[in-house]
């Protein structure tokens, strides 16, 4: 199978509990529900792209445990090419511990596990996947050296390269930016990368301008209910978010990235691709969970 979207990134088992509010330091709360759900930013974006119309291949690494088997099977069930999802011996699979409060806000702790074993040579081994792709997506839940290699290789192959800089805690290496066609941060990630606090559309424009000055091709700052800001150095475009009643925001950003990539891969203009990603993300927040909340293409057709 020749995938037109290749995702290089993380696979996590999400351990999700719901409670009325998030716990404070040293506090024990009584939760309401608990579920295990396949997740990880890389896998979520791969599932989103696949459900929203793309042929997808995943490059990643899980541990040799039951979670690892379940994570690979979850991708296979979505018709995602998993030949490049390796299994690291003696290591746990990646895990995300997620608490969701009554207002649908979440707090997350991630354990890298097998994701930390995804090395540049792991990607190199499956170079044919990158060669046949139209769009390559990376995030920051795998080793930085692996992200750096993938971005650079994607640029060398002339592919459309997307970086979702999540989670971001500070500036990215300067040499990365020239390899990125679309940088897609949320408010906090845009602030971490640019040094500009992002609270609204105007501050997002300032942050995006700084990121463009570093050499990235185009920037899309996702602003939750405030929509998304697109910047390419020539102009800004604001895309309003569809109005929905949120249930769980987990994987909304991943759904946007996957939907945007799927639309680009089938030849849609970038504005239409952004609007499509927003519609998919809006539908995802009306449902609980990471991958279970991601919609299918048929649900978004008029």
Query: Which pLDDT value is given to residue 1?
Result: 56
**Given pLDDT bands bounded at 50, 70 and 90, which one contains residue 218?**
very high
> Which comes out higher in pLDDT, residue 27 or 246?
27
Domain-embedded: residue 300: no
Evaluate if residue 150 carries a pLDDT over 70: yes
Beta strand pairing call for 106-111 and 94-100: antiparallel
Identify whether the C-beta of residue 228 lies closer than 8 Å to the C-beta of residue 220: yes
Domain-embedded: residue 25: no
Segment 32-55 shows an average pLDDT of: 95
Q: 14, 81, 181, 254: which is the annotated catalytic residue? A: 254
254 annotated active-site:
yes
Segment 130-137 shows an average pLDDT of: 98
Domain-embedded: residue 96: no
Query: Which pLDDT value is given to residue 285?
Result: 92
What are the pLDDT digits (tens) for 152-189? 999 999 999 999 999 998 899 999 999 999 999 999 99
Give the span between the Cα atoms of 287 and 244, in whole angstroms.
Answer: 11
Give the span between the Cα atoms of 293 and 282, in whole angstroms.
Answer: 10
Identify whether the C-beta of residue 12 lies closer than 8 Å to the C-beta of residue 115: yes
What are the pLDDT digits (tens) for 226-285? 999 999 999 999 999 888 888 877 789 999 999 999 999 999 999 999 999 999 999 999
Domain-embedded: residue 302: no
Domain that holds residue 240: 5-10+40-91+114-294
Domain-embedded: residue 22: no
How many other C-beta atoms lie within 10 A of the C-beta of residue 25?
4
Torsion of CA 123, 118, 8, 146, to 10 degrees: -70
Domain-embedded: residue 108: no
Q: How many domains does the chain have?
A: 1
Any residues with CB less than 8 A from the CB of 52 and at least 6 apart, and which? Answer: 258, 259, 262, 263, 276, 280, 295, 296, 297, 300
Domain-embedded: residue 301: no
Query: Which pLDDT value is given to residue 108?
Result: 85
Evaluate if residue 289 carries a pLDDT over 80: no
Domain-embedded: residue 230: yes
Shortest CA distance to 161 belongs to which of 144, 178, 140? 178
Q: 218's torsion region: left (phi>0), alpha (psi -120 to 50) or beta? A: beta
Identify whether the C-beta of residue 34 lies closer than 8 Å to the C-beta of residue 240: no
- Rounded to two decimals, the pTM is 0.93
CATH number, domain containing residue 163: 3.40.1190.20
């Amino acid at each position: 199978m020749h995938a037109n979207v290749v995702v290089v990134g993380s696979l996590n088992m999400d351990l999700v509990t719901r409670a009325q509010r998030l716990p404070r330091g040293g506090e024990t709360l009584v939760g309401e529900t608990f579920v295990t759900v396949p997740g990880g930013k890389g896998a979520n974006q791969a599932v989103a792209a696949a459900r929203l119309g793309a042929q997808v291949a995943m490059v990643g690494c899980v541990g040799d445990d039951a979670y690892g088997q379940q994570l690979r099977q979850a991708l296979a069930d979505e018709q995602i090419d998993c030949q490049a999802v390796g299994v690291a011996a003696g290591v746990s699979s990646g895990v995300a511990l997620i608490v969701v409060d009554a207002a649908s806000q979440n707090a997350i702790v991630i354990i890298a596990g097998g994701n930390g074993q995804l090395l540049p040579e792991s990607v190199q081994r499956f170079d044919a996947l990158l060669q046949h792709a139209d769009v390559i997506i990376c995030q920051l839940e795998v080793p930085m050296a692996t992200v750096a290699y993938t971005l650079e290789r994607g640029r060398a192959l002339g592919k459309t390269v997307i970086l979702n800089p999540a989670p971001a805690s500070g500036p990215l290496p300067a040499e990365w930016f020239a390899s990125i066609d679309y940088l897609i941060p949320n408010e906090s990630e845009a602030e971490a990368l640019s040094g500009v606090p992002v609270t609204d559309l105007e501050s997002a424009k300032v942050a995006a301008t700084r990121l463009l000055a570093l050499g990235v091709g185009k920037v899309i700052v996702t602003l939750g209910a405030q929509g998304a800001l697109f910047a390419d150095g020539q102009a800004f475009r604001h895309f309003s978010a569809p109005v929905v009643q949120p249930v769980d925001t987990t994987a909304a950003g991943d759904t946007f990235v996957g939907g945007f990539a799927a639309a680009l891969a089938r030849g849609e203009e970038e504005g239409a691709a952004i609007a499509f990603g927003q519609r998919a993300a809006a539908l995802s927040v009306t449902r609980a969970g990471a991958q279970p909340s991601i919609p299918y293409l048929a649900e978004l057709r008029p």
